[in-house]
Amino acid sequence: MGKKEKITPERKEAVKYLLENYDIKTPQDIQVALKDLFKDTIQEMLEAELETNLGHSKYEYGTEKENYRNGHSSKTVRSEYGPVKLEIPRDRNGEFEPSVIPKYSKDISRIEEIIISMYGRGMSTRDISKQVEEIYGVTVSAEMVSNVTNKIIPLIDEWQNRRIDSVYPIVFIDAVHFSVKDNNQVIKKAAYIVLGVNTDGFKDVLGIWVGENETAKFWMSVLNDLKSRGLQDILILCSDGLIGLADGIKAIYPKTEHQRCIIHMIRNSTRYISYKDRKEFCNDLKTIYTAINEEKAYESLIEVSDKWKSKYPYSVKNWEDNWDLVIPFFKYSEELRKIMYTTNAIESLNSSYRRYTKNRTVFPNDDALRKSLYLATKNIIEKWTSRYQNWDMILSQLQIFFEDRI
């Protein structure tokens, strides 16, 4: 058990004052008393700040003084104790700008910070409004929630344009789809996520792009964006069959090895497999992507094709048509393959995004989606404190395979 903290004589006097001057019978009565004292304290701080600014007290007079007090103006601010009405002192020259209560500020609590935190954890504007009012006694409209969270848009732009490392050994690109209102219609829009693994073995989200169509031109724009922010080389890039991405990679990062995501390959292949055949088919597929080398993998592909192609032609053709993009990882060790073909990192990231946004079935606009994904990203990456296991060994292998590039 922790040692009980002693109450200082000064704190005892403060408690005694509360008990003697306020009819305290419940915890709510304490809140009322504290609100009253809070208001008085802020008011005294404002008066003291003006006095310091003027350089003389309220009762000092003289013709040599260039500036004087000039009454007060009323202002109601939000606080952790609810709305508080204050009298802001003024000076004759209109020069006084209190630092205790900034000139245009109407919130001296953590409510804005709390609203942004709630928004980042997936709460709807309606739920945020209700909870803030229940807990803090402050009325917050959906419009106010939107206005508060709009304050982070410059931070999003700054984050999206920040400098990044010059080399990333592994980069994942994937798309997550959301419903967004556009011209009074609800449409599906993709958020394209770029996740990098740096040379120290740590993950980082390099950027998020919302709502563009998948074309080679779009991907060249994204990759050029990454390059302008400092990324000069990608050793291995893992992705699904995003339209135009392969052409974009060849144009911007011609030396990059493009690896097709095995998880997506499996999903695409099993989409049309009947339930009774799925387990057996998946077991057969596993012999391909867990083979010890490319030769054994191709032998397994032939066997799977002979067994299943007549019944499920597309499911096998998916592997045959993309074989050149499937095979790169067979030359690597099991530890590196695990990072590349299981794509746990991007799958886990996408799952987290869906968890943070599950309460928002439709986003009112692109900015609302960007805000939500940015705040979710900040929450997610706070937990990324460990690097990949066996990273030193993996890095040594990459230095051999990609000599002079890392």
pLDDT in tens, 263-299: 888 888 998 899 999 999 999 999 998 898 999 999 9
pLDDT tens track for 380-389 = 888 888 999 8
Q: Are strands 82-91 and 233-239 parallel, antiparallel or unpaired?
A: unpaired
Burial of 233 (0-12, 13-18, 19+ CB in 10 A): middle
* Total residue length of the chain: 406
pLDDT of residue 158: 95
Residues 6+ apart with CB under 8 A from 265: 289, 318, 319, 322, 326
Average pLDDT score over residue span 145-169: 91
Q: Which two tokens stand for residue 398?
A: 């990459």
Do 183 and 282 belong together in one domain?
yes
Residue 336: pLDDT over 50: yes
Residue 262: pLDDT over 90: no
Do 129 and 256 belong together in one domain?
no
Do 356 and 318 belong together in one domain?
yes
Overall domain count for the chain: 3
pLDDT of residue 1: 47
Number of neighbouring beta carbons within 10 Å of residue 95: 10
- List the one residue out of 369, 347, 352 whose CA is nearest residue 239: 347
Q: Would you say the pTM of this structure is higher than 0.75?
A: no
pLDDT of residue 364: 87
Do 104 and 185 belong together in one domain?
no
Do 388 and 364 belong together in one domain?
yes
Would you say 238 and 343 are in contact if contact means Cβ atoms under 8 Å apart? Answer: yes
pLDDT of residue 329: 79
Residue 342: pLDDT over 60: no
348 assigned to some structural domain: yes
pLDDT tens track for 346-382 = 777 888 888 888 878 888 889 989 998 998 898 888 8
Q: How far apart are CA 346 and CA 312, in angstroms?
A: 29
Do 78 and 185 belong together in one domain?
no
227 assigned to some structural domain: yes
Q: Picking from 56-60, 172-176, 205-209, 391-395, which range would have the lowest pLDDT averaged per residue?
A: 56-60
222 assigned to some structural domain: yes
Q: How far apart are CA 316 and CA 309, in angstroms?
A: 6
Q: Which domain holds residue 41?
A: 1-58+65-108
Do 141 and 251 belong together in one domain?
no
Residue 333: pLDDT over 80: yes
Radius of gyration of the chain (CA): 30
- Greatest mean pLDDT range, 15-19, 82-86, 130-134, 231-235: 231-235
300 assigned to some structural domain: yes
312 assigned to some structural domain: yes
pLDDT of residue 66: 76
> What is the H or E stretch that residue 175 is in?
strand 167-182
Q: How far apart are CA 114 and CA 234, in angstroms?
A: 39
Would you say 240 and 168 are in contact if contact means Cβ atoms under 8 Å apart? Answer: no
Looking at per-residue confidence, does 259 or 399 come out higher?
Answer: 399
Angle between the 245-252 and 216-228 helix axes, to the nearest 10 degrees? 40
Specify the CATH number for the domain of residue 304. Answer: 3.30.420.10
